[in-house]
Amino acid sequence: MSSDQGVGAISLRGARWGHGETAFWLVAAASIFLLSDRYLILTEMAWLGLFALSLDLILGYAGIVSLGHAAFFGIGAYTAGLLAVHGLIREPVLALLVAGLAAMVLGFVTSFLVIRGSELSQLMVTLGIALLLRELANKFSDITGGFDGLQGIVIDPILGLFAFDIFGKVGFIYSLVVLFVLFLLARLIVNSPFGLSLRAIRNNPLRAAAIGIPVKRRLVAIYTVSAFYAGVAGALYTQTTALASLDVFSFERSADLLLVVVIGGAGYLYGGLIGAVVFRILQDVFSSWTPQFWQFWIGLVLVLIVLLGRDRVQRGVLWLPRQVLRHWSARASGTAAGGSSS
């Protein structure tokens, strides 16, 4: 009997909320008050983080690679833009959901093309779909505004209560809340039996099928969910910037996203969020040094990360915060033990 309890306890341990996680979200919330002159870049980090979370769900957990994730971002962005321009759905949260669902439909339909092949064919198919959508958006410029983008996007107050302000404070809080809610959902999914079966499929699809896991159905499901996340990220982008132009579908956007996930690390959810923050800071720092050559430095960082190994880089960067946390938790458990013995 004790071994069943052991089995249950060990399984539950994986989903336990850690000190590091609490610290991460406290810092994110504190940035609302401490970095009030940086709302625009913080908002970008939030939607980029959500977009990266979307890619991490398929790449880090299910092992599906994509060079065309901007397809879903773009659909979400244009859906949110068109809903606002034509006044179809004025309330931003509802529009956000509809934009996510539009991307989800596209994700479901295209998943059957993507999941059947090898990694190389996945790269080609995802890339092809994104390019195709970009050309379609260009072709139907009377709807999408072509290269100039959608004109006259005005976003109504959130829930009819909170109007977007020119400093971007409401926009940032809104993006952060959406990110947090969808992060919690993603966390639930990856720590469930469904999430474990995805990791099994990534590890060994042959064996996964041989123990009765419906491999194809699971991959279709997570690809569809991932498309929803990317669509919401695109809609957040449009709602907070009032922009939707062809570059939402661009290859650079998909490729940058892959960089973000590689920088932060795949397969633990926070990788995408940390990657988004690091990527935007690097982009900001490098482009203020050398406006023309910032991509050179980003490239250099990427090569260093791959050569040194992300683990070593992270260990270096996280050394100090880890020490502080260890010190704290040691003291906390010390007092707890002292309390129980007395």
Q: Check binding of 10 to other proteins (CB under 8 A).
A: yes
Q: Is 120 in the site for other proteins (CB under 8 A)?
A: no
- Binding region for other proteins (CB under 8 A) out of 1-9, 30-38, 176-184, 272-280: 1-9
Neighbours of 292 (CB within 10 A): 7
**Site stretch for other proteins (CB under 8 A), options 149-157, 208-216, 279-287, 294-302:** 208-216
With contacts defined by CB under 8 A, name the span among 3-11, 73-81, 155-163, 311-319 that binds other proteins.
3-11
Residues in CB range of 85: below 8 A, 6 or more apart: 150, 151, 152, 153
Q: Site for other proteins (CB under 8 A): which residue of 120, 211, 307, 320?
A: 211
Task: Select 220 or 255, whichever has its Cβ closest to other proteins.
Answer: 220
- Measured from the CB atom, is 34 or 206 closer to other proteins? 206
* Per-residue tokens: 86: 């034509």
- Binding to other proteins by CB under 8 A, coded x per residue (else -) over 167-196, reads ---------------------xx-xxxxxx
**Is 206 an interacting residue with respect to other proteins (CB under 8 A)?**
yes
* b/e per residue 148-176 (b: at least 16 CB within 10 A): ebbeebebbebeeeeebeeebbbbbbbbb
First to last CA, the chain: 31
Q: How far is the CB of 25 from other proteins (least distance, A)?
A: 19
118 contributes a contact to other proteins by CB under 8 A: no
Nearest of 171, 178, 180 to residue 24 by alpha carbon: 180
Q: How far apart are CA 164 and CA 328, in angstroms?
A: 39
- Give the per-residue SS3 of 75-140: HHHHHHHHHHHCCCCCCHHHHHHHHHHHHHHHHHHHHHHHCCCCHHHHHHHHHHHHHHHHHHHHHC
Under the binding rule (CB under 8 A), the answer on residue 218 touching other proteins is yes
Q: Residue 204 in contact with residue 211, Cβ under 8 Å? A: no
Query: Is residue 291 a contact residue for other proteins (CB under 8 A)?
Result: no
Report the residue from 65, 215, 243, 301 that binds other proteins according to the rule CB under 8 A: 215
How far apart (Å, rounded) are the C-alpha atoms in residues 48 and 294?
A: 19
Cβ nearer to other proteins, comparing 8 with 321: 8
Nearer CB in complex with other proteins: 79/197: 197
Q: Is 38 helix (H, G, I), strand (E, B) or coil?
A: coil
d(C-alpha 314, C-alpha 308), whole Å: 10
Smaller CB distance to other proteins: residue 112 or 147? 112
User: What's the min distance (Å) between Cβ of 273 and other proteins?
Assistant: 21
Cα–Cα distance, 67 to 74 (Å, whole number): 14
Q: C-beta of 221: minimal distance to other proteins in Å?
A: 8
Residue closer to other proteins, measured from CB, 207 or 326: 207
* Residue nearer to other proteins on the CB measure, 217 or 292: 217
* 304 Cβ neighbours under 8 A, 6+ residues apart: 313
Quote the least distance from Cβ 227 to other proteins, whole Å. Answer: 16
Residues that bind other proteins (CB under 8 A): 3-12, 14-15, 188-189, 191-197, 199-200, 203-204, 206-215, 217-218, 221
